[in-house]
Amino acid sequence: MKCTVIGLGRFGYQLATSLADQGMEVMAIDSNESIIAAIRDKVTQAVCLRVTSEDSLLTLGIEDMDIVVVAMGEDFAQSILITALLKKQLHVKNVIARAVSSIHESILMLVGADRVVFPEQDLGIKLANNLSFSLIEFFQVTEKFALTEIIAPKNFVGKTISNLNLKKSHQVSCIGVNIDEEINLLEPDYVIQAGDKLLIAGNNDKLANLAKEKDKE
C-alpha cells in the first residue's frame, strides 16, 4: 500500500516512520529541509516541498496514492487548501486530515476529507481510560464499545472460558489471550492460567466494572 504524509510535525513524523516500519511505501513531504534530512532514511521517499497548488502535487504523483494524510494542524488554511486539492482536483481515493478544533473538522469534511482525526484529543482519551481502569491497554472501537487487555483475575485462574460465562456474569466476552505479543483466539475449553493477558470486549461501563472488581483483589 502506498501512503503520503504531508506535514512532518510530531504527529506526521511519527505516523510516517511507523507506517514505513510496518512495510508500507511512504512518501513524506515537508517544507523544512532539516526534517526531510532526518526522515530520509526512514521512509521510501522524502520530499522538501511547500504544497501550494495542484501542479506541485501532480509532479509527485500524489493522485496514485492509496492514502494521503494531511498531518499539519496548526496551519489551518494550508491544511484545508491541500485537502480540497487532493479530493476536488486530484480525486485521491482516501484523504485523512488532522484537525485542531471542531470548526476545523467541519471545514475539512466540507471540502471532502474522508476522515478527520484529532491526535492530541484521541491520545488524551486513551490515557484517561488507561489511568481510570486497571487495564494493560484500552482500545476504543466506538464511543461506547472497546477492547482491552487485562491480567487474569485470581478468580478466573483454573477455570475454562465456558465455565466463566462472562457474557452472563459481566456482559463482556473473552476473545483471546496475548502470548508473546501475539493474540491467540480461545476455545470454550481453554483453561485460564495465572498471568494470562486476556483480550476482553464489551461496553465501556462493563469493562470498568470488571476492572474495579480486579482492583479489589
Q: Same domain, yes or no, for 72 and 179?
A: no
- CA 43 centroid distance within chain: 19
Q: How far apart are CA 15 and CA 70, in angstroms?
A: 11
Q: Same domain, yes or no, for 14 and 111?
A: yes
Q: What domain count does the chain have?
A: 2
Residue pair 117/97 in contact by the 8 Å Cβ criterion: yes
Domain ranges, residue 23: 2-117
pLDDT value at position 120? 67
pLDDT value at position 23? 85
pTM: 0.61
Query: Which is more confidently placed, 182 or 44?
Result: 44
Query: Which is more confidently placed, 136 or 197?
Result: 197
74 has pLDDT over 90? no
pLDDT value at position 160? 93
Query: Which is more confidently placed, 121 or 111?
Result: 111
Q: Same domain, yes or no, for 12 and 107?
A: yes
Residue range 144-169: mean pLDDT, rounded: 87
